[in-house]
């Protein structure tokens, strides 16, 4: 039997080859899906690796005790190998060590000092200091600002006099690595740290000593600190590829274990692990749906394989008849063919792998994602590849046994000449299986929707349109893990397929009758031919419909995915591009419009607030936003918001000082003289409050005017004068009344007179509380009257009293503004979260005014400059809801955000800020003249002073295009379309060959009565059209439907996008079948001639 | 002696759409073992149906048929397969149905034995022996396209006898060959009949073949109508007589020609004479 089988294979090598190709295509397709997922994920990983910040590739080890350096080196080498690059060790301590004289310090020591620092001034520390100094130290340049540290500075560390050490700063060094280098993360060696202590701040200094000095002296002197020993290993970025992901994670695991054996409490941290695990997760998450979809499409291909195999066996019918006549049983016939199928399956294991690989290669070269995919690597082939190939081939062999069995029993029937009898109605049609399956499928759909998707049954019945909404919703996609979920579409599809088989002959007959009214034989004959064998034509049409649906869905999904990615990218950034800056380092004179390709720019202030859920406070300039319609539209209400009123007196921008003439009248009852003090309170447009003392410019004497003047106003401005505060001191007297006369409040350096105090009344001036007591005690309000000598001045008689630790300081304020809540637009999530927490106990609504306490960081939160310590403070933010924004770019739908004008936000946030740390615009949105920024744009942004990062929507778009799941689904559909098309063409070609052979006599007869070859071609072309036209129309419609269902499942929420390339599908189909027809026509020419000769 | 093939009142009805076709209408036939007969009859007479039944390819609707010890009406499907494999051999008119073009003559003869449990060595020996018997010992490795038509049919005979069947059914074995080849084929069949004692039933339209067998059975309208017996010695016909077959119930089919001459249609008058039975037209009907 085996020899016979081999001979049969050799004899029919062409047909066997076609069967092998068919099996390889189908099996290769099933194996292709997971490989493609890995390929896309690898491309995505590659892009992330290449753009990820350097800090991600740093491995930090932190321990409290010193470890043997050789041990650490060896462990790194043996476990991490080539992944690890340079390693550096350093020592630090926590918390700050307060020393004497006053001041607190933090020591650092570096094992690789020479490669990290260069001497700038003074000298490097010696390990043998002289002159009673125990430890010599160096500092970095900014430490010496405001004389916080200086060469020659000495301080003592340690409270125990026996072990205390004297430290002297002997030099200033520069860091050789850039300040933004990840190595410096968390280190405080660059700047003095202002540590909050009560209401004040304490400047803390970090210094650097040698490793020996640290270990031998510092750790001995100071025992009540946490000693920190750290190693930082830079991992080699170029080593991190998808192929090595598993390898590195295993190596890292081994490394961690080895280190923890030696130091159980050691802490290890690297961003690479998250990166690689995220990659692995993305592959895992995409694999399941891709494999599921692949199996569904594979079922179609399996059906194609079965019909092709059936046609092939029909070609061998005579042979099988002969076997039957020689006494072979049906089982033996099946056995012979199964042996062939098994041998082919083994060959298809390799063939399928080749097909899968070639498919990847084609997609990487000319596919729709060719520009984001790299070349396929061997690592893409894993165990699941072979497992899927094996499963596919087992299913194919089982599937091909069906037509084998049918052919075997048919051979006996033909032998009995039973095939001469007309075919009976199939069993499924006799028992209405098609209707039954459809009804059952609908029941499952109703079950699915009502139970799984939580929509009541009555709702579905009364509002059937809700069914479609549920089926196309994102939540529905999550139900795919319910096995019964697939039962519904499976039953519906099977039932619909059988119903199609029932209806197709009726349709063809109906159309055929319509064509009968026309003269001409061709179309009538064509329809009659099709009507005679509707089963196979119906199957072929069905297969083509599904094939075309796959292609249509693939193209539409890809277009929608690109459009969606583009929208999401722009929405994430808020515009075409955005630049984030560190305001303190930013040059305000820089004009972003000078960047290449920039058409419009809009500054904004983005302030993240740490809370249980992160909140973002956003300040924008409505006028500048008009160039960004996506943002301008939801924020349109901001145009109607009035600018905050600062009150006060606007001081000229050219003002250098504020000056006030004051005459202090002598107190006759006082035993000692009275010393007065005056202050001006200022505020600028950023809400920064400044109180400056008015200092007498000359020696004062009671009874004469002296000019009191502030120091030069800080450059941050322009300023608004809010008011003047007065106080006085009498030695030994805390409770007295004093009188001063004030005249001529001027802006120094200009001709601006802020107030003359000549009028009889104070007009817009009024006394404001200098303390809480002034509100309660009217006697504390100063008396004023006009001083009539000279041009006129203001006489002020005021009480000085002490209430606890505070003294009253009456303030004369100009046009004070009643507390004004900040008008804001908020997100629905914010309204819900903070409204329910407030006294309102309900979501916030337009018009509500509440106060919310937030913890905000001073100045600009620099998540990326982690070597700076930025204090935070409590802000009581009072605001009025001017609008609720349902959705807006830059934020997720459920994000907590609050938007107002930059003016308002600054005024609110900076109310207690210092001149050194305040909030100001830190992001600029850019509108570009093209979708993709030019390379000049990227180059130019790198030179922006104070740049933190520049983000282009294009880059995010490219990243989103690399999303494994959507890419893989689209790719599987596209490849599924092409392979199904090839199988369909093979099926069709074989069917044409078989039928032409079967119809050889009738075709020859037609030629004998005068038909030419072109008439026969026309006949066959019409028969083809009966197959292709419904497939085209229905396939395109089904493809659109499939797209609409898949889009929300893949998180694509754009409207349907129909690219021009969609019309390529019907064209491909028509061309493919036309070529097949032309090829098969050769058989017509040959056969007809033979038949005619036979008749001689 | 019990006949080897005994058909008793054989009936076969086919249903074609809503139409019932009675292919065999109570056919009766007895063939002794080792006999070589020809089966003749016009198209639609039922000879293909009878062949299918005798070949185990079909089962009768009614009646009784025994081939050797095999009751063809009571056979299960598995028994039918064994019957086709071991009891009956077929020779078809078309070479394509007899021989596989990609196998040699020897391999073709070995093919039916592949479906049995005969060991390969025994298969080869038997194949060589059979081909020798049919005079093709020098053609063992020839493929069918390398053999003449007559040689192909002789190989087909060897193939049919591969599993040592008791019955050989040949359907127009000489239909596609010239007269010389036909003679050779027929001689081979006679040789095999004598050498192996195999019962041979030849379905044919060829009058030459009909003349070469001792018994010709004519079938018409699903019944055996006539038989021609030849008796002779040494291959020389001594007597040749044509009989109208009388079945067990006493029915016979009168030749149509006779009926037409005497205008006999519905009823006839039968009169017993001393040594014959006279059949006369119904004069009253004529009148």
Whether ipTM exceeds 0.85: no
Chain A residue at shortest CA distance from B102: A11
* Cβ pairs A/B, distance under 8 A: 62
Q: Given pLDDT bands bounded at 50, 70 and 90, which one contains residue A349?
A: very high
Tens-of-pLDDT digits for all 287 residues of chain B?
578 999 888 898 887 666 788 888 888 888 999 999 998 887 778 888 888 888 887 788 888 899 988 888 888 888 888 888 899 998 887 777 788 888 899 999 998 998 888 888 999 999 999 999 998 999 899 999 899 888 999 999 999 999 999 999 998 888 777 888 888 888 888 888 888 899 999 988 777 776 788 888 888 888 887 788 776 655 555 556 677 777 777 777 787 788 888 888 888 888 898 998 888 888 754 44
* CA atoms of A532 and A508, how far apart (whole Å): 10
Q: Among residues A706, A705, A707, A678, which one has the least CA distance to residue A692?
A: A678
Amino acid A602: pLDDT: 93
pTM: 0.73
Report chain B residues whose CB lies below 8 A from the CB of A417: 48, 52
Is B225 within 8 Å of chain A by CB? no
- The pLDDT value recorded for residue A413 is 63
- pLDDT above 60 for A24: yes
Q: Say which range, A16-25, A1002-1011, B135-144, has the weakest mean pLDDT.
A: A1002-1011
Can you tell me the distance from the alpha carbon of A214 to that of A224, in angstroms, rounded to the nearest whole number? 15
* pLDDT-based confidence at residue A582 (cuts at 50, 70, 90): confident
Q: Is B152 on the interface with A (CB under 8 A)?
A: no
Task: State whether B81 and A7 contact (CB < 8 Å).
Answer: no
pLDDT at A478: 55
Please tell me the distance in Å from A406's CA to the nearest CA on chain B: 16
Calculate how close chain B gets to A1007, using CA atoms only, in Å.
27
Categorize the per-residue pLDDT at A470 as very low, low, confident or very high, splitting at 50, 70 and 90: low
Task: Name the strand (E) or helix (H) holding A228.
Answer: strand A226-235
Task: Inspect the interface and report whether the beta carbons of B115 and A318 lie closer than 8 Å.
Answer: no
Which pLDDT value is given to residue A686? 84
B159 touches chain A (CB under 8 A): yes
Q: Which residue of A has its CA nearest to B21?
A: A421
Of the candidates A85, A109, A112, which has an alpha carbon nearest to the alpha carbon of residue A238? A85
On whether any CB of chain A is under 8 Å from the CB of B96, the answer is yes
Residues of A in contact with B121 (CB under 8 A): none
Contact B111 A4 (CB under 8 A): yes
**Per DSSP, which regions of chain B are E strands?**
5-16, 19-31, 36-40, 62-67, 70-71, 88-91, 167-171, 199-203, 215-220, 223-233, 236-244, 268-272, 277-281
DSSP A881-912: EEEE-S--TTS-TT-EEEEEEHHHHHHHHGGG
Which residue is closest to B54 within chain A, CA to CA?
A: A416
Spatial distance between the Cα atoms of A371 and A984, rounded to a whole number of angstroms? 30
Instruction: Provide the shortest C-alpha distance from residue A329 to chain B (in Å).
Output: 6
Binary contact (A326, B81; C-beta < 8 A): no
CA angle A475, A480, A481 (to 5 degrees): 115
Q: Does A6 reach chain B within 8 Å, measured CB to CB?
A: no
By the CB < 8 Å criterion, does B84 face chain A? yes
What is the C-alpha separation between A101 and A1035, in angstroms, rounded?
86
- 3-state class (DSSP) for residue A29: helix
Question: What integer best gives the mean pLDDT of chain A?
Answer: 82
Lowest mean pLDDT: which of A614-623, A1071-1080, B164-173? A1071-1080
A94 or A360, which is more confident?
A: A360
Using CB atoms, which residue from B82, B114, B163 is nearest to A4?
B114
Interchain pair A325, B102: CB under 8 A: no
pLDDT tens track for A715-732:
766 899 988 888 777 777
Task: Burial-class residue A241 by CB neighbours within 10 Å (0-12, 13-18, 19+).
Answer: middle
Give pLDDT, residue A1063: 85
Question: Are the Cβ atoms of B115 and A332 closer than 8 angstroms?
Answer: yes
Note whether B78 contacts A: Cβ–Cβ < 8 A.
yes
pLDDT at A925 over 90: yes
Q: Is A325 on the interface with B (CB under 8 A)?
A: yes
Instruction: Answer yes or no: are the C-beta atoms of A758 and A792 closer than 8 Å.
Output: yes
| Structure-block tokens of residue A442 | 């609908």
Once rounded to an integer, what is the mean pLDDT over residues A404-429?
A: 60
Q: Is A419 on the interface with B (CB under 8 A)?
A: no
Q: Contacts of residue B81 in chain A, CB cutoff 8 Å?
A: 327-329
DSSP A952-1000: EHHHHHHHHHT-HHHHHHHHHHHHHHHHHHHHHHHHHHHHHHHHHHHTH
B85 touches chain A (CB under 8 A): yes
**Residue B15 distance to chain A (closest CA, Å):** 9
Taking CA atoms, what residue in A is nearest to B57?
Answer: A416
Place of tokens 């050498």: B195
pLDDT number for residue B131: 93
Instruction: Say if A1 is an interface residue toward chain B (CB within 8 Å).
Output: yes
C-alpha closest to that of A337 among A434, A268, A410, A285: A410
Q: What does the buried/exposed string (b/e) look like for A730-763 if buried means 16 or more CB atoms within 10 Å of the residue's CB?
A: beebeebbbbbbbbbbbbbeeeeebbebeeeeee
Contacts of B14 in chain A (CB under 8 A): 421
How many angstroms separate the CA of residue B168 from the nearest CA in chain A? 12
Q: How far does Cα A729 stand from its chain's mean position?
A: 62
Contact A10 B102 (CB under 8 A): yes
Q: Name the more confident of A912 and B64.
A: B64
Interchain pair A318, B16: CB under 8 A: no
Nearest CA in chain B to A423: B17
Task: Check whether the bond before A1021 is cis (ω within 30° of 0).
Answer: no
Separation between Cα atoms, residue B17 and residue A1096, nearest integer Å: 36
Residues 6+ apart with CB under 8 A from A239: A82, A83, A248
Contact by Cβ (8 Å): A242, A279: yes
Q: For residues A994-1012, give the mean pLDDT.
A: 78
Q: Are the C-beta atoms of residues B133 and B155 closer than 8 Å to each other?
A: no
A51 close to B (CB below 8 A): no
B92 touches A: beta carbon within 8 Å: yes
Residue A980 CB partners (closer than 8 Å, separation 6+): A297, A300, A301, A304, A543, A546, A547, A550
Name the token pair of A901. 């004008």
Question: Can you give the pLDDT at residue A199?
Answer: 60
Of A7, A318, A327, the CB nearest to B97: A318
Share of chain A above pLDDT 90, in %: 20
Pick the residue from chain B with its C-alpha nearest to A336.
B115
Strand pairing category for A822-826 and A872-884? parallel
Whole-number pLDDT of residue A411: 66
Which pLDDT score, from 0 to 100, does residue A345 have? 93
Question: Lowest-pLDDT range, A274-278, A294-298, A893-897, B76-80?
Answer: B76-80
Q: Residue A943 in 3-state DSSP?
A: coil
- B236-244 sheet: strands from edge to edge: B88-91, B167-171, B199-203, B36-40, B215-220, B223-233, B236-244
Say if residues A687 and A648 touch (Cβ distance below 8 Å). no
Q: What single string gives the DSSP state of each residue in A708-722?
A: EEPSPPPSS--EEEE
**What are the structural domain ranges in chain B?**
33-60+74-254, 255-287
Residues A297 and A493: their CA atoms lie apart, in Å, by: 12
Mean pLDDT of A455-466: 68
Pairwise CB contact (< 8 Å): A421 & B16: yes
Of the two residues A219 and A1051, the one the predictor is more confident about is: A219
Question: Any CB–CB contact under 8 A between A1078 and chain B?
Answer: no
Optimal mutation site among B111, B116, B159, B164, interface A, most CBs of chain A within 10 A: B111
From B96's Cα to the closest Cα of chain A, the distance in A is 7
Identify the closest residue of chain A to B160 by CA–CA distance.
A326
Gap from A521 CA to chain B (nearest CA, Å):
28
Tell me which of A36-45, A185-194, A551-560, B58-67 is least confident. A185-194
**Other Cβ atoms closer than 10 A to B119:** 10
Kindly determine whether residue B102 and residue A7, on different chains, have CB atoms separated by under 8 Å: yes
A990 or A850: which leads in pLDDT: A850
Find the mean pLDDT for residues A692-710: 84
Beta strands in B87-145 (DSSP E): 88-91
Inter-chain CB proximity B90 and A329 less than 8 Å: no
Quick check: B100 and A321 CB within 8 A? no
Assign a CATH topology to domain B33-60+74-254. Rossmann fold (3.40.50)
Residue A785: other Cβ atoms inside 10 A: 12
Please report which helix (H) or strand (E) contains residue A230, including its range.
Answer: strand A226-235
In Å, how far from its chain's centre is CA A693? 51
Residue A418 pLDDT greater than 50, yes or no: no
CB contacts, 8 Å: B163 with chain A: 327
Q: At which residue do the structure tokens 């419904």 appear? A: A1030
Grade residue A118 by pLDDT with cuts at 50, 70 and 90.
very high
| CB within 8 Å: A326 and B111 | yes
Strands (E), A769-830: 783-787, 793-800, 802-803, 806-807, 811-814, 822-826
Give the pLDDT band of residue A518 (cuts 50, 70, 90).
Answer: low
* Model pLDDT, residue A870: 59
pLDDT of B198: 92
* Mean pLDDT on A628-651: 88
Cis geometry, peptide bond prior to residue A887 (ω within 30 degrees of 0): no
Residues 6+ apart with CB under 8 A from A1012: none
**φ, ψ (nearest 5 deg) of residue A441:** -60, -40
Measured in angstroms, the CA of B62 and the nearest CA of chain A are apart by 18
Mark B40-72 as b/e (b = at least 16 C-beta within 10 Å). bbeeebbbbbbbbbbbbbbebeebebbbbebeb
Q: Residue A466 has what pLDDT?
A: 64
Confidence of residue A29 (pLDDT cuts 50, 70, 90): very high
A318 touches chain B (CB under 8 A): yes
Is the CB of B97 less than 8 angstroms away from the CB of A412?
Answer: no
Q: Which of B24, B144, B131 is nearest to B72 (CA)?
A: B24
d(CA B115, CA A328) in angstroms, rounded, equals 6
Q: How far apart are CA A648 and CA A690, in angstroms?
A: 13
Cα distance between residue B169 and residue A191, in whole Å:
111
Exposed/middle/buried for residue A528 (C-beta within 10 Å: 0-12, 13-18, 19+)? middle
pLDDT score recorded for residue A862:
45
Q: What is the pLDDT of residue A270?
A: 92
CA distance A792 to A790: 5
């Amino acid at each position: 039997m085996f020899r016979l089988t081999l001979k049969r294979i050799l004899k029919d090598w062409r047909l066997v080859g076609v069967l092998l190709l068919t099996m390889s295509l189908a099996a290769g397709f099933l194996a292709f899906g997971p490989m493609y997922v890995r390929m896309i994920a690898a491309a995505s990983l590659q892009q992330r690796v290449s753009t990820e910040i350097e800090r991600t590739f740093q491995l930090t080890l932190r321990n409290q005790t010193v470890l043997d350096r050789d041990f650490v080196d060896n462990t790194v080498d043996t476990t991490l190998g080539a992944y690890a690059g340079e390693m550096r060790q350093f020592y630090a301590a926590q918390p700050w060590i307060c020393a004497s004289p006053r001041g607190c310090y933090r020591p650092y020591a570096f094992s690789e000092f020479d490669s990290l620092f260069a001497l700038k001034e003074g000298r490097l520390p010696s390990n043998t200091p002289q002159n009673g100094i125990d430890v010599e130290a160096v500092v970095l340049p900014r430490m010496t600002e405001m004389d916080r540290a200086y060469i020659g500075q000495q301080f003592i560390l340690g409270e125990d006099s026996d072990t205390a050490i004297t430290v002297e700063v002997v030099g200033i060094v520069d860091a050789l690595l850039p300040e933004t280098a990840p190595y410096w993360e968390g280190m405080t060696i660059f700047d003095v740290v202002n540590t909050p202590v009560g209401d004040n701040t304490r400047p803390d200094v970090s210094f650097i000593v040698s490793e020996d000095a640290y270990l031998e002296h510092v750790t001995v002197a100071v025992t009540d600190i946490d000693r920190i020993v750290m190693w930082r290993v830079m991992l080699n970025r170029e080593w991190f590829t998808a192929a090595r992901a598993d390898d590195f994670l295993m190596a890292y695991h081994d490394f961690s274990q080895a280190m923890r054996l030696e130091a159980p409490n050691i802490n290890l941290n690297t961003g690479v692990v998250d990166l690689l695990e995220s990659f692995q997760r993305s592959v895992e998450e995409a694999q399941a749906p891709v494999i599921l979809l692949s199996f569904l499409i594979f079922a179609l291909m399996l059906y194609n394989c079965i019909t092709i195999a059936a046609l092939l066996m029909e070609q061998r019918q005579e042979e099988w008849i002969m076997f039957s006549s020689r006494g072979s049983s049906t089982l033996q016939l099946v056995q012979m063919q199964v042996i062939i199928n098994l041998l082919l399956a083994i060959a298809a294991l390799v063939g399928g792998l080749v097909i899968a690989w070639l498919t990847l290669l084609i997609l990487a070269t000319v596919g729709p994602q060719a520009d984001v995919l790299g070349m396929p690597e061997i690592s893409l082939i894993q165990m699941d590849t072979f497992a899927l190939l094996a499963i596919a081939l087992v299913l194919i062999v089982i599937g091909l046994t069906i037509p084998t069995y049918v052919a075997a029993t048919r051979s006996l029937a033909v032998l009995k000449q039973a095939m001469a009898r007309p075919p009976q109605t199939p069993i499924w049609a006799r028992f209405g299986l098609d209707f039954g399956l459809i009804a059952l499928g609908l029941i499952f759909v109703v079950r699915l929707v009502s139970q799984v998707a939580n929509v009541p049954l009555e709702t579905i019945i009364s509002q059937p349109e809700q069914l479609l909404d549920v089926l196309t919703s994102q939540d529905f996609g999550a139900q795919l893990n319910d096995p019964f979920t697939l039962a519904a579409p499976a039953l519906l599809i099977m039932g619909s397929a059988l119903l199609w088989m029932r209806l197709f002959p009726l349709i063809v007959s109906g159309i055929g009758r319509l064509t009968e009214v026309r003269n001409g034989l061709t179309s009538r004959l064509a329809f009659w031919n099709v009507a005679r064998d509707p089963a196979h034509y119906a199957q072929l049409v069905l297969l083509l419909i599904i094939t075309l649906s796959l292609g249509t869905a693939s193209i539409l999904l890809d277009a929608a995915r690109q459009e969606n990615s583009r929208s999401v990218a722009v929405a994430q950034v808020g515009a075409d591009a955005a630049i984030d800056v560190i305001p303190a380092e930013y040059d305000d004179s820089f004009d972003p419009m000078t960047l290449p390709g920039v058409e419009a720019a809009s500054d904004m202030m983005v302030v993240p607030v740490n809370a249980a859920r992160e909140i973002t406070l956003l300040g924008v300039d409505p006028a500048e936003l008009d160039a960004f319609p996506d943002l301008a539209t939801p924020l349109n209400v901001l145009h109607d918001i009035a600018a905050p009123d600062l009150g006060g007196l606007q001081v000229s921008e050219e003002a250098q000082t504020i000056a006030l003439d004051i005459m202090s009248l002598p107190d006759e009852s006082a035993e000692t003289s009275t010393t007065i003090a005056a202050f001006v309170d200022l505020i600028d447009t950023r809400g920064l409050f400044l109180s400056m003392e008015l200092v007498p410019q000359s020696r004062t004497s009671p009874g004469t005017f002296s000019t009191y003047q502030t120091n030069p106003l800080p450059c941050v401005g322009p300023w608004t004068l809010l008011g003047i505060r007065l106080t006085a001191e009498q030695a030994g007297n805390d409770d007295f009344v004093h009188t001063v006369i004030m005249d001529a409040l001027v802006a120094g350096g200009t001709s601006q007179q802020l107030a003359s105090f000549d009028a009889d009344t104070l007009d817009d001036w009024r006394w404001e509380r200098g303390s809480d007591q002034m509100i309660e005690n009217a006697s504390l309000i100063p008396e004023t009257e006009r001083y009539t000598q000279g041009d006129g001045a203001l006489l002020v008689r005021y009480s000085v009293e002490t209430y606890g630790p505070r003294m009253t300081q009456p303030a004369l304020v100009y046009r004070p503004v009643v507390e004004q809540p900040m008008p804001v637009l908020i997100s629905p999530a914010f309204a819900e979260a903070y409204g329910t927490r407030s006294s309102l106990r309900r979501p916030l609504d337009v018009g509500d005014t509440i106060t919310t306490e937030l913890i905000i960081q001073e100045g600009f939160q620099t998540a990326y400059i982690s070597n700076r310590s930025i204090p935070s403070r409590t802000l009581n933010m009072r605001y009025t809801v001017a609008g609720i924004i349902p959705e807006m770019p830059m934020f997720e739908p459920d994000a907590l955000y609050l938007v107002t004008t930059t003016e308002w936000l600054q005024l609110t946030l900076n109310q207690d800020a210092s001149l050194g740390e305040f909030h100001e615009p830190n992001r600029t949105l850019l509108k570009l003249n093209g979708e993709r920024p030019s390379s000049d744009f990227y180059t130019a942004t790198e030179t922006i002073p104070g740049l933190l990062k520049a983000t282009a929507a294009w880059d995010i778009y490219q990243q989103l295009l690399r999303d494994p799941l959507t890419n893989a689904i689209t790719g599987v559909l596209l490849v599924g379309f092409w392979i199904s098309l090839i199988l369909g063409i093979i099926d069709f070609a074989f069917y044409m060959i078989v039928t032409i052979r079967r119809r050889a006599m009738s075709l020859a007869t037609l030629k004998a009565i005068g038909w030419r070859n072109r008439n026969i071609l026309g006949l066959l072309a019409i028969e083809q059209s009966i197959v292709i036209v419904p497939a085209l129309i229905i396939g395109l419609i089904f493809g659109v439907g499939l797209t609409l269902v898949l889009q929300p499942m893949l998180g694509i929420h754009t409207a349907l996008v129909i690219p021009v390339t969609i019309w390529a599908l019907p064209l491909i189909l028509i061309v493919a079948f036309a070529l097949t027809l032309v090829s098969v026509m050769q058989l017509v020419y040959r056969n007809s001639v033979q038949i005619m000769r036979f008749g001689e | 002696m019990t006949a080897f093939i005994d058909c008793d009142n054989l009936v076969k009805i086919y249903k074609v759409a809503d139409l019932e076709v009675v292919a065999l209408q109570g056919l009766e036939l007895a063939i002794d073992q080792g006999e070589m007969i020809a089966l003749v009859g016009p198209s639609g007479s039922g000879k293909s149906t009878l062949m299918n039944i005798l070949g185990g390819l079909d089962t009768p609707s009614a009646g009784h048929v025994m081939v050797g010890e095999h009751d063809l009406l009571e056979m299960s499907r598995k028994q039918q397969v064994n019957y086709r494999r071991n009891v009956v051999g077929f020779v078809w008119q078309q070479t394509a149905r007899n021989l596989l073009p990609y196998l040699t003559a020897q391999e073709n003869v070995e093919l039916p034995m592949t479906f049995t449990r005969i060991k390969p060595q025994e298969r080869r020996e038997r194949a060589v022996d059979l081909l020798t018997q049919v005079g093709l010992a020098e053609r063992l490795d020839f493929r069918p396209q390398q053999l003449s038509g007559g040689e192909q049919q002789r190989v087909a005979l060897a193939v049919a006898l591969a599993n040592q069947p008791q019955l050989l059914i040949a359907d127009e074995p000489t239909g596609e060959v010239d007269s010389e080849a036909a003679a050779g084929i027929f001689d081979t069949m006679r040789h095999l009949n004598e050498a192996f004692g195999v019962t041979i039933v030849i379905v044919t339209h060829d009058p030459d073949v009909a003349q070469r067998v001792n018994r010709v059975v004519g079938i018409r309208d699903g019944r055996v109508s006539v038989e021609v017996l030849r008796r002779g010695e040494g291959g020389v016909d001594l007597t040749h007589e044509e009989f109208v077959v009388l079945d067990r119930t006493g029915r016979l089919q009168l030749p149509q020609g006779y009926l037409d001459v005497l205008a006999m249609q519905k009823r006839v008058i039968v009169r017993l004479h001393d040594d014959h039975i006279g059949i006369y037209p119904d004069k009253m009907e004529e009148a």
